[in-house]
Each structure stands twice: as structure tokens, then as C-alpha cells.
Structure 1
Amino acid sequence: MNRPLGPPVDATPAPWPSRVTLEGQTVILEPLEESHADALFPHIGGAANAWLWDYMFTDVPSSLAEIRSRIARQAQSKDPFFWAIKVKKHAAQGTAEAEVVGYIAFLAIVPAHRSIEIGHVMYSAALQRTTAATEAIYLLGHYAIRDLGYRRLEWKCNDLNAASRKAAARYGFTFEGVFRQHYISKGRNRDTAWFSILDSEWERGVEAAFEQWLDPGNFDEEGKQKRRLESFR
């Protein structure tokens, strides 16, 4: 009896992400270093920024010493693999004129299956709802799929995190379902929503939508978008 099998695919493992800097028009993703901690603390540390950590697995760092220690560990990690997010003050300015306002990571990196996740998304108030926030996702997606050859790009979040779910849909990720009682996080249940973009989807429209949305012609003189990202897909 012949049973259905999946189509054959190239089984060559993808390479591991390298410590490269990814630069766009508005944002620079720089491999995270302990030296980024001092600039990050005002944006993501202390009681005033505790709300940023509601859906993270750890609590807000309460002191500069604590964030330095935490960032030092993250900088040495290979999975998750962290980048500092630096926003340019003006599009033409380089790394020296950019401010560190958050971080982001690749994780669940499985080269043998060419699967990789974007996560540990720490977008400070200075980064949220900005062009740079969207371009950071584009840069990571392009690097993972186009440069490294991964065929599955994942996004996961607490199912109660409405903002993250909305962002995943806006970026072009497909909702795949909810893993119920997936974690116990900070003493609370966490159901995890799963999303993905496949390489074929990236190549057939998701990438082009990002690029058309990011085109300077899509923004007015005040930097407001003329068309929404979703409208380009």
C-alpha cells in the first residue's frame, strides 16, 4: 500500500547566524554587547518601564548593575542570539548617530530543519509604532531566509498578548494555533500562540510588501505612512 509522503526537499542544513550588523534606512541591528546596557537601561529598566515586561519570562531589571549582568549573559548566548536595536536619528546617519532603544533575538534555531524564530522582542516606548520597529523585522526575515536559507520563520507569544498577536499578523505571519498550558511563567499559566512565515511566502509577497511599505515614497513629510503594510500583500 502506497501511503502519502511529504515532497522531497533540500536537506542541507542552514548556517548558524553570524555576528553581523544588519543596517536599514531607519534602524541598525548590532550584535548585543554588555556595553549597550547603559544606554538601554533608561528605555527598558526601572519601575517606570515595568509594563514592558508583563509578557516576558523575566521581570524588569531594577538597577543598572542588574541590566549590565543580564545583557552580559545575553551577549554570550548563541541561542537565543541577540541584537541591539539602534534607531537612526536621520536616515542618512550611520551607527555613531544611532540610539540603542531595545533588543531582539533569533531563538529556537534548528539548522538541520532550517527553522528559526524571532523572539525576545524588547521594544521600548521609543521604538513602538515606529518605522524602525517594522524594519527590524524585515531585516531579520531577509537575513534568515534570503541570506542563511532558513525555510521557516517563527513568531510565538503569550496568547493574551494582543499587541504581539496583532503585530505578527501585520508582519505577514500565519497563525497556526495555540499550545495550551505551554509554560508556567512568573507563577502564571501561559498559553502560547504560534505563527510562521515560510520561505515560499516570503518570496511570493511578504518580502515585497515590506520593501514597498518601507519605500520613502510611502511616507509623508511628517513621516506618516500613506498605505498600511497589509495593503501591499
Structure 2
Amino acid sequence: MSTSINDLTQPIGAPVPGWTPRPQPTGVTLAGRHCLLEPLQAERHAADLDTAYRLAPDPRAWTYMFTGPFDTPQDYLRYAQGAAQSTDPRHFAVVNRSTGKAVGTLALMRIDPTHGVIEVGNVMFSPLLQQTPASTEAQFLLMAYVFDTLGYRRYEWKCDSLNAPSRRTAARLGFQFEGIFRQAVVYKGRNRDTAWFSIIDTEWPLLRQAFEAWLSDDNQDAQGRQRRSLTQVRESLPR
């Protein structure tokens, strides 16, 4: 990041000309080829989500979440009813376009319009969504909404530093690791050291190009498998 020198010969941050606070995210629906992101509605989505989550062989996906696992569908419905009313976090359901069923959720949170900073979190993808093109597309749709529509400068990803799958996912999606905040959170009766990652607006054009190339038909073989990984696609692009 470039710096400037002020009249007192002190280094200062680069100017951000014309900056104004960004809009708050709203309950929009974002459409892709494989999935839709819809504002979470408990009555519409909760039953499908609870069913999809229960397809997992064990509850390990909930270990690093602040909530869950839920003992009954009614317990999950009550959670979803509360989450649907929240505007920060603002929760979205990921809906499979082929089946019309909700198969996961994610949220925009810690929303700071003044400085143009926002976080993606509460990512809970069921076995029906994990490791599918729709899972990557869901992340891409939300990033594009934040950077291209709302004009934010910084997009964050945070997780328990011990959550290796989440850290791998952040790196795969193009987030840059920034460090560990020690003893940042207490949840479920235990400590969390938090790993921080981010994407900033100057990095987004290259990442957007990589997502679009990875999601294209050209990157799928006859069996629907990727020809090149997202990381390989991104690293092949000229900077």
C-alpha cells in the first residue's frame, strides 16, 4: 500500500479521494447459474436446511460455529427465525437452482459502512453443497455484491485458528492471511484465537476474473469435474 508525506514530513496513508460511506447491504436475491442467494426466511428455508445438515455423518461441521448442532428440527427453526430477523449478521440461504431446496447459509456481518469494511461469516454448507460448483459460486456472488454493487473496500474472513478446513477455504477463495488475534473470543465455553483474512478492492478484479473462468463451461470436463483448480486458474492470470 502506497504512502504519502505530509507537510510535517511524516508518512501518512494514501489519499482516498471522493470517499463516502457505503450503503448497507439489503435483503437482495443474488442469482447464479448453480444457485441463488436468498434472504433467509425461516418458514421457507429452515426445514430444507435442517434436513440437508442432518445428511452429514456426524456434527463436526458445527464444532467451530457459535451455534449448533441442533437436537431437533424445531430447535433449528427457532434459531432460523431469530437469524432471519437480524440485519447484522444479514443471513442468506443458498438455494440449489435445480431442486429449489436450501442447502446452506452464509452471512454478511460486522458491517462498517463508514470505512467500507464487511465480513462474510456464519458459513454453514451442508453435504449437498460442499465441494460443488454452487458452493464456490455462492461465495463469488456475495463478493461481487459487496465489491461491485455496494463498493466496499475490504472483505474479511475470520475463523478459529484451529479450524484448518476454514483456513484452507479462505486461501482457496483468494483471501490473504493477516495474522492471529490471540484470545479474541470465548464461545461454547472455550477460548478462540482468531485467524484473520481479507480481500481488498484492488485485488478484486483479478479474483473476479478467476472465479468467472473457473465457473465457466470451459473448465468442466464431460463428467462435470474441474479441469483446473481455482488456485491454478488464479495463478495463471497476468497481474
- TM-score by length of structure 1 reads 0.93
CA RMSD of aligned residues (A): 1.4
SS in 2 for 1:227: coil
Q: CA deviation at 1:147?
A: 0.5
Q: CA deviation at 1:44?
A: 2.1
Gaps of 5+ in 2: 1-7, 235-239
Please name the residue that 1:77 is paired with: 86
Which whole-Å deviations, capped at 9, do the CAs of 1:142-169 have from their partners, x for residues lacking one?
Answer: 0000000001010011111111100100
- Give yes or no for the alignment of 1:16 onto 2:24: yes
- TM-score by length of structure 2 reads 0.91
Please name the residue that 1:165 is paired with: 167
Q: Following the alignment from structure 2 to structure 1, what is the Cα–Cα distance between the partners of residues 153 and 20?
A: 11
Q: Following the alignment from structure 1 to structure 2, what is the Cα–Cα distance between the partners of residues 88 and 217?
A: 21
Q: Is the 8 A contact 1:107 1:116 kept in 2?
A: yes
Equivalent of 2:49 in 40, 43, 46: 40
Please name the residue that 2:220 is paired with: 219
* Paired letter, 1:103: T
Q: CA deviation at 1:29?
A: 0.4
- Give yes or no for the alignment of 1:180 onto 2:182: yes
For residues 58 and 12 of structure 1, do their structure 2 counterparts lie closer, same or farther at Cα, with a shift above 3 Å needed? Answer: same
Q: CA deviation at 1:63?
A: 1.0
Q: Is the 8 A contact 1:43 1:49 kept in 2?
A: no
- Give yes or no for the alignment of 1:155 onto 2:153: no
Q: CA deviation at 1:52?
A: 1.6
Q: Trace 1:56-205 onto structure 2 (pairs within 5 A).
A: 56-89=65-98, 97-203=99-205, 205=206
Which whole-Å deviations, capped at 9, do the CAs of 1:21-58 have from their partners, x for residues lacking one?
Answer: 10101111000001111111112259955222000011
Equivalent of 2:12 in 5, 13, 17: 5
Q: Following the alignment from structure 1 to structure 2, what is the Cα–Cα distance between the partners of residues 49 and 38?
A: 19
Q: Following the alignment from structure 2 to structure 1, what is the Cα–Cα distance between the partners of residues 53 and 168?
A: 22
* Paired letter, 1:98: G
* Paired letter, 1:8: P
- Give yes or no for the alignment of 1:54 onto 2:57: no
Q: Following the alignment from structure 2 to structure 1, what is the Cα–Cα distance between the partners of residues 33 and 55?
A: 30
Q: Is the 8 A contact 2:146 2:152 kept in 1?
A: yes
For residues 196 and 47 of structure 1, do their structure 2 counterparts lie closer, same or farther at Cα, with a shift above 3 Å needed? Answer: closer
Q: CA deviation at 1:138?
A: 0.4
Q: CA deviation at 1:88?
A: 2.3
The structure that is helix-richer by fraction is 1
For residues 135 and 46 of structure 1, do their structure 2 counterparts lie closer, same or farther at Cα, with a shift above 3 Å needed? Answer: closer
* Paired letter, 1:197: I
Q: Is the 8 A contact 1:56 1:120 kept in 2?
A: yes
* Paired letter, 1:100: A
Q: Percent identity?
A: 47
SS in 2 for 1:200: coil
